[in-house]
Amino acid sequence: MRILHTSDWHLGRSFHRVGLLDAQEAFVDHLVDTARSERVDAVVVAGDVYDRALPSLDAVALYDRALHRLAALGVPTVMISGNHDSARRLGVGAGLMGRAGIHLRTDPAGCAVPVVLADDHGDVALYGLPYLEPAMVREEFGVRRADHAAVLGAAMDRVRADLAARPAGTRSVVLAHAFVAGGASSDSERDITAGGVAAVPPSVFDGVDYVALGHLHGSQVLTERLRYSGSPLAYSFSEADHRKSMWLVDLGPRGEVSAERVDCPVPRRLARVRGRLEDLLADPSLDRHADAWLEATVTDPHRPHEPMARLRKRFPHVLSLVLDPERSDDDPLASYATRLRGRTDRQIAEDFVAHVRGTGPDEHERAVLHAAFDAVRPGAEGPGTVGAGARGAGSAAAGTARTGEA
């Protein structure tokens, strides 16, 4: 059976205030063309279909067109909700859509009810595990600890029990939206640690033939049977070196897996440059970045005059400016930056709370802090958005500023 594995579409998301809807539509075209040309038997989408719980009308319209086109091909599609999606909203009409071959799995209670497809070698059971927020599903799965490993482990126990009751030789595929230990993250994923330890061990998924993962935006192989497809588009400059793709997976008669990457269309290349402003403006080796979406880190000891305006004359598509001034070792700000290096904004904020009142934040306060940082991180939409503005408490304190205009 041939399966096309994708995830993390984030329909409606922008990139440093540049709309990506046209690029996302081009990806949908590519997905449908690939499904047709490669004669796939199923498309699986491992969560984060939308970028927000209340997507824009344009994003919903694109999603609707994608589903209609896949249904018209006659290619069964299995799709789960991710941590960016509203599971309830994404799952509206699931029963009706299932009759058209679009199988939405957004209800945790249905994680052990597979979509069963067949080929010349027998049945393949596809189980959809939507994103499981530990605090929200703890009672459903009857676990004592509200953490990701516990709830995913309980969900997989149900999957294995259902699989064991099926005819011998039934092959299995699991879709899951989770942070699995060994995966490499980027700046554009929303943190999911508020519900407990974020990473789950790969062993949670033992007993199935292929696991189609979503959440991390880089395509990666944890084991031959455990893969992230990654997002089809880059959503942060930390993904500048990513090769955006989908997995074309062939599941053999005994569950053996072979897979190849299918590259996704790139709307514009990303690049990052670093140095003093005059060097960035004069270095001939940087000519290759003239057409790229660019992040420029300017290291002048003192803020230069109108850096963004001057950079745009050479790099018309510069989107992000980071000010990271060079400092001498005896500079107090340099010493402070050294102490903060390697620490996240959230860790710095928690340390500040502990410094002010003598005790660190409790679990509830930590969740509030995490939610506040999620709301203002670059790439977020709506009130509190920081498009190309301040990076956060840690970077600003370290003497690094990020701006969209000089």
* pLDDT (average), residues 25-34: 98
- DSSP codes, 22-74: HHHHHHHHHHHHHHHHTT-SEEEEES--BSSSS--HHHHHHHHHHHHHHHHHT
Q: What pLDDT shows up at residue 345?
A: 81
- DSSP codes, 282-319: H-GGGGGGTTSEEEEEE--SSPPSSHHHHHHHH-TTEE
Which fold does the domain 2-263 belong to in CATH? Answer: Purple Acid Phosphatase; chain A, domain 2 (3.60.21)
At 236-256, the pLDDT tens digits run 999 999 999 999 999 999 999
Q: What pLDDT shows up at residue 85?
A: 95
Six token digits for residue 288: 């290759």
Eight-state DSSP code of residue 11: B
Share of the chain above pLDDT 70, in %: 87
Q: Which of 18, 16, 14, 15 is nearest to 387 (CA)?
A: 16
At 185-220, the pLDDT tens digits run 888 887 765 444 578 999 999 999 999 999 999 999
Q: Which of 148, 143, 234, 220 is nearest to 184 (CA)?
A: 220
* pLDDT (average), residues 105-113: 96
If one counts every other C-beta atom within 10 angstroms of the C-beta of residue 358, the result is: 7
Eight-state DSSP code of residue 122: E
- Is residue 340 a contact partner of residue 398, using CB atoms and an 8 Å limit? yes
**Domain ranges, ordered by start, for the chain:** 2-263, 270-403
Q: What pLDDT shows up at residue 219?
A: 97
Residue that has been written with the tokens 């984030």 in this structure? 10
Six token digits for residue 185: 């993250």
* pLDDT (average), residues 144-157: 93
Share of the chain above pLDDT 90, in %: 74
Q: What pLDDT shows up at residue 239?
A: 96
Angle, helix 345-357 to helix 363-376, in steps of 10 degrees: 140
Q: Residue 21 above 70 pLDDT? A: yes
- Is residue 345 a contact partner of residue 394, using CB atoms and an 8 Å limit? yes
CA–CA separation, 362 and 17 (whole Å): 35
At 283-339, the pLDDT tens digits run 999 999 999 999 999 999 999 999 999 999 999 999 999 999 987 666 655 556 666
206: CB partners within 8 A, 6+ apart: 156
Average pLDDT, the chain: 89
